[in-house]
Structure formats: structure tokens, C-alpha cells
Amino acid sequence: MPRLVYVLNGPNLNLLGKRQPDIYGRETLADVEQDCRALAATLGLELRFHQSNREYEIIDWIHAAREAAGAVVINPAAFTHTSVAILDALNAFDGLVFEVHISNVHKREEFRHHSFVSARADGVIAGFGTEGYQLALRRVATLLGPQ
Ligand code: CA2
């Protein structure tokens, strides 16, 4: 399987580290990207890292992943709880899918307890802060095997 991984981030995650540090921590999305790139290099993974506030852009990146990637690591943010379209796109992708949430969504409001994406995910990480992205990348590397 290709060692290319798409790391996709949904709406408002561009504000990471700038608001609500009590829930989402102090790392910015640029910090998360930097950490992911450093780890990916040690794991022999190639990374495409994206964020969008637009559902269609996330769907387009999942379609692009179909052509070339072995895994998608996705924090769909609020689209987690609303988007059948993102679920449908992920269902058309044959590689590994890991869903990441910075906060523990199950400890929060009831509307955050349901995820459309979890029906397709090979694993779900919630409540590990931004470290969750790293855990997901490590799992991808384990499942893809040595380079
Ligand atoms: O815990 C997560 O990672 C979430 O996916 C984050 C989403 C939320 O809608 C999900 O229920 C759980 C919200 C992302 C918004 O991120 C912000 C970060 C800093 C300041 C404001 C928003």
C-alpha cells in the first residue's frame, strides 16, 4: 500500500491554539502539522496536510487520496456530527481511515456523541489532545509495515 497519508482537518481548526485552550490546548494547527511532518519522516510516511472550512474541499481531498494514498487521518471537526457526504467519500476510499478528535467528544454535549465518520473508521482517537494525530500516524505505520 502507498505510504502517502492525507491528514485532513475540518472547520474552525484553523483557530486551534488561538481560542478555547481549555478544550483544545495551546498548539496551533501549524504546530500540529510540524509535529506530524517530523514524526512522518521518522516513520517513512509521506504527508499531505490540509484544513478547510468547506465540506466540498475535504471531499475533494478524500477523492484525491483514492488515487494515491494508503491512509486518511481525519479530524472532521463539526462535520463529524453532520456529514453523510464525508462518510460517502470515505466509503469510496480503500485505504486505512483513522478519525481523530482533540477533545473527548463523549464527555461533551450529547450532539457530539454521534459520528457519521466512525462507521467507516478503522480506529477512533478522542481526548488525547493534539497527540492524537501522532498516535494515528504511528498506527498507520504499524499497519502499513516496515518501509
Ligand atoms: O475535539 C475535536 O477535535 C473536535 O473534532 C473539534 C470540533 C468539534 O466540533 C468536534 O465536536 C470535536 C471543533 C473544532 C473547532 O476548533 C476550534 C479550536 C480553537 C478555537 C475554536 C475552535
pLDDT for 28: 97
- Nearest atom, ligand 1, residue 104 CA: 1
Q: pLDDT of 48-100, one tens digit each?
A: 999 999 999 999 999 999 989 999 999 999 999 999 999 999 999 999 999 99
Q: 3-class SS at 134?
A: helix
Please calculate the CA angle 56-107-115 and round it to the nearest 5 degrees: 30
pLDDT for 136: 98
pLDDT for 5: 98
Q: 3-class SS at 145?
A: coil
Q: Which of 23, 28, 102, 118 to mutate to test the pocket of ligand 1 (most atoms within 8 A of CB)?
A: 102
Rounding to the nearest 10 degrees, give the CA dihedral for residues 104, 112, 47, 140: 60
Interval between CA 78 and ligand 1 midpoint (Å): 7
Task: With beta carbons less than 8 A apart as the criterion, state whether 59 and 94 touch.
Answer: no
pLDDT > 90? residue 147: no
Distances (CA, A) of 123 to 26, 30, 53: 25, 24, 24
133 as an active site residue: the answer is no
Q: 3-class SS at 101?
A: strand
Which residues lie with the beta carbon below 6 Å from any ligand 1 atom? 12-13, 15-16, 19-20, 24, 75, 77-78, 80, 101-103, 105, 112
Rounded to whole angstroms, the Cα distance separating 130 from 128 reads 6
6 as an active site residue: the answer is no
Ligand 1, atom 2, residue with closest C-alpha: 101
Ligand 1, atom 4, residue with closest C-alpha: 77
As a whole number, the mean pLDDT across the chain is: 97
Rounded to whole angstroms, the Cα distance separating 143 from 47 reads 16
Interval between CA 9 and ligand 1 midpoint (Å): 10
pLDDT for 51: 98
Q: One-letter amino acid identity for 84?
A: V
CA-based end-to-end distance of the chain: 10
- HSE of 77, CA atoms in CB hemisphere, 13 A: 19
pLDDT for 146: 87
